[in-house]
Amino acid sequence: MNMLRAVTDDGDRFVALTPNRFNAEVAKHFLRALQQEFGQKLVIVLDNAPYFIAKTLKKQAAADGLLLEYLPPRSPEMNPLENCWLQLRAARANRLFRTLDEVKTYLSTTLPQLKSPEIYHYLC
C-alpha cells in the first residue's frame, strides 16, 4: 500500500492510497484528483521524487493549467509533510499488521488524527 498526501495552506488534507508503485502515471492521477478536490487553478509544491519530475507529468500539468514548483533537492526539512510521516511512523511503532485490511484500517483511523503542518511557517 502506497500513499500520496497533500496539505493546503488552510490545513485541508487530501490522501490518495494506491496498491501500485509510484510512477509518473500514478502521480498524474494524483494531480488530477487534487484538481477535482481543490479546483482547477492550483500551485502545487512537490519534492524531487522521480515520478514528480517526469517530463510526462510536467507536460500534463501544464496542459491542465497546474503550476508545479519544486523544493530544493535533498531538503526534507523544507517539506511540511515530512512531519506527518514522522507522526504516522511513531503511531505504528511496535505494531504488527497481519493483513492488508489491518493496514487500511490503521490508516483510515490514524490519518485523520495527524496534526497538519502550518504551511505558512514553511513559506516564510
Q: Give the pLDDT of residue 36.
A: 92
Q: Give the pLDDT of residue 15.
A: 80
pLDDT band at residue 100 using 50, 70 and 90 as cut-offs: confident
Task: Pull the grid cell for residue 107.
Answer: 490508516
Over residues 83-96, the pLDDT tens digits come to 767 777 787 778 88
Q: Which domains does the chain have, with CATH numbers?
A: 2-119 (3.30.420.10)
Q: Give the pLDDT of residue 103.
A: 82
Closest to 88 measured CA to CA, from 62, 70, 108 = 108
Pairwise CA distance, residues 108 & 106, whole Å? 6
What length does the chain have? 124
**Structure pTM?**
0.69
Any idea of the CA torsion for 102, 105, 106, 109, to the nearest 10 degrees? -170
Contact yes or no for 36/46 (Cβ under 8 A): no
- pLDDT(77) > 80: no
